[in-house]
Amino acid sequence: MGVVALVQSVVSKQIKQLYQLDMEPDAVPVNETKPEFEGDYTVVLFGLVKSLKKAPEALGNELGEQLVKEHGDLFSGFNVIKGFLNLSISDTYWLQFLQQHAGDAGYGHRPSTGKRIMVEYSSPNTNKPLHLGHLRNNFLGWSVAEIYKANGYDVVKTCIANDRGIHICKSMIAWQLFANGATPQSTGIKGDHFVGDYYVMFGEELKKQVAGLVEKGVAKEEAEKEAPIMKAAQQMLVDWEAGKPEVIALWKMMNSWVYEGFEATYKRIGSDFDKTYYESNTYLLGKDLVEQGLRKNVFYQEEDGSVWIDLTADGLDKKIVRRRDGTAVYITQDIGLAELKQEEFHSDGSIYVVGDEQNYHFKVLKLICQKLGLPSADGIYHLSYGMVELPTGRMKTREGTVVDADDIVDEMVSVAQQKTEELGKVGDFAKDELTQLYDTLGLGALKFFLLRVDPKKRMIFNPEESIDFHGFTGSFVQFSHARAKSILRKAQPAMSALSCNLLPAEKSVLVELEKYPAILKQACDEMNPSVVAAYVFKLAQTFNSFVTELRVLTAETPEKKELRLQLAQLTVHVIKSGMALMGIKVPDRM
């Protein structure tokens, strides 16, 4: 039980004993005491004042005196300011906490809940490489999955590869027109980048052809449909759906190039999946569910044969689920895939990590699944996140202005090298150690920068700003871990019992460390890794202030040295654990 929950429990019992008033522990309002007042935690008394009809100061003094008298091992003192009872936690409590957890590398993680959660993320198109937006998606999905694991859930990580459709055919047509048989192997270009180049070429050629038709007097909207290259792409999609052998062979070959490229990127950024689904295998799913929905009157059929659902009573609108020619639409596939995933994994919840431009889509998906009575329906959750933009503005794939994930990673590693060399402390490292260090710092800075922002918010990514050894960055947290490890290389704590008085700087580190389990629960409840990022940064700041103010290895007494070594040890465990939940490695030395 954390200290806040413990204070709530003890205060709840004391209120019942003193005033015969039943008050659930969770209903006792407890906050951290504001820095300008003496104390650690504050009980807000206004609700009690109203119930008991007592003056705030009299009530606070009465309750505070009884708490210190009966629970001296927990409370060392109190003061009352208006309707606020400020309680000081005893050094004995903090020392016992440290003794219990200093050697526990798994501190903060919870036992199994017996529940399973699915997290779907990444979900790329196979006509272009992963880009900066995909990085936020991957880091967010992977981190949320790890945070759920830390909270005792069995987690299944999934991905849906969008490997069919007109966008894929555009790359295929452009390759046929412009490649002259070139391959990633013959050009030395990474497979996903190679295919993505042809997608951009398609867009450029389409612009030229549309402009030519417009010059001849064709309306722009009509020209975009009638351009020869667009008609060729549409015909290729028809041929693909008909299973034309040469089209399928080309599709398989080009997709294999992309998957090889994706795999290299995923490996480098530390992204992994337990199961990957492919749209080419799932796009027909859901057709049977449409028939079931018609029988249950969940859906209705128009005169032209198309099938719809009317969600106007739910505050949405009408949505087509099957075209008049009998073909499925995207939502139909998603309904079928939701059912398939549930049949395979029997999860208690399914989290979809998808950008906020799809908010409406997922409201519709959940509603339809609920109306169909699918067992997966209530557990569907859309983890909506804001787009990542560059200082120059929004990225656009068709115009070739997207920043590829591989290029961003390379740039971050380069910036890490430059910043580290500026500090002039690379002489002690072997060449391969430096290579590893730059990679650790560059990727760590990138992940931390993209995860430190609440997922719901849009953000601007600036590589230079993300690596700062003194700012709100992963680099600062990594430096703090290395600083603690440097101390522990010179002396290890004996893990002996402690009974000394705490100085404010020592206590401040303990107060931060004690919060870690509650932080992990909050991050899980909110599906928000930025909670962990903000926490480890605050812990790193607090630890740095502590070692700047107080000596560790040459402490004034052996017991103080032991205390401070134990503080360093638990700080190392917690920073390493918190950063790992964001997929960030921490170096032992920098």
Cβ atoms within 10 Å of 357's Cβ, excluding its own:
10
Pairing type for strands 349-355 and 459-460 reads: unpaired
In the predicted structure, residue 428 carries a pLDDT above the cut 90:
no
> What's the mean pLDDT in 492-504?
94
Q: Where are the beta strands (DSSP E) in 336-452?
A: 349-355, 380-385, 388-389
Pairing of strands 154-161, 116-120: parallel
Compute the average pLDDT of residues 504-516.
Answer: 96
pLDDT of residue 401 exceeding 60? no
Give the closest residue to 160 by CA, choosing from 100, 120, 118.
120
d(Cα 231, Cα 233) in Å, to the nearest integer? 5
pLDDT above 70 coverage of the chain, percent: 97
Instruction: Report the pLDDT value the prediction gives residue 284, as an integer from 0 to 100.
Output: 84
- Three-class secondary structure of residue 142 per DSSP: helix
Extract the runs of DSSP E, i.e. beta strands, from 133-211.
154-161
**pLDDT reading at 178 higher than 90:** yes
Report the mean per-residue pLDDT for the chain: 93
Q: What is the pLDDT of residue 423?
A: 74
pLDDT of residue 395: 43
Q: How far is CA 588 from CA 11, 107, 542, in A?
A: 43, 20, 19
Q: What would the mean pLDDT of 407-429 be, rounded to a whole number? A: 84
Q: Which two tokens stand for residue 344?
A: 């395979």
Query: Sorting pLDDT into bands at 50, 70 and 90, what band is 398?
Result: very low
Secondary structure (H, E, C), 2-42: CHHHHHHHHHHHHHHHHHCCCCCHHHCCEEECCCCCCCCEE
Q: Is the confidence at residue 45, as pLDDT, over 50?
A: yes
Question: In this model, does residue 271 exceed pLDDT 60?
Answer: yes
Residues 188-246 have pLDDT tens digits of 999 999 999 999 999 999 999 999 999 999 999 999 999 999 999 999 999 998 999 99
H runs (alpha helix) in 305-378? 330-345, 359-372
The answer to whether 338 and 350 are in contact (CB under 8 A) is yes
Q: pLDDT band for 400, please (50, 70, 90 cuts).
A: very low
pLDDT band, very low/low/confident/very high, at 469 (cuts 50, 70, 90): confident
Confidence check: pLDDT of 331 > 50: yes
- For range 19-39, the mean pLDDT: 93
CB burial class (10 A; 0-12, 13-18, 19+) of residue 522? Answer: middle
Query: Is residue 463 within 8 Å of residue 415, measured between CB atoms?
Result: yes
| Average confidence (pLDDT) over 432-460 | 94
Q: What is the pLDDT of residue 262?
A: 97
Distance, CA of 453 to CA of 435 (rounded, Å): 28
Output the pLDDT for position 521: 97
At 383-396, the pLDDT tens digits run 999 988 877 655 44
Least confident residue range of 281-290, 423-432, 452-461, 498-507: 423-432
Q: What number is the average pLDDT over the span 403-408?
A: 90
What is the structure's pLDDT at 517?
Answer: 97
Mean pLDDT over residues 87-104, rounded? 95
Query: Contact 91/49 with Cβ under 8 angstroms?
Result: no
Report the first-to-last Cα separation within the chain, whole angstroms: 36
Across the strands, what pairs with 80? 85
Let me know if 217 is exposed, middle or buried by CB neighbors in 10 A (0-12, 13-18, 19+): exposed
Written as one letter, the residue type at 420 is T
On the 0-12 / 13-18 / 19+ scale of CB atoms within 10 A, 224 is: middle
In the prediction, which pLDDT does 303 show? 93
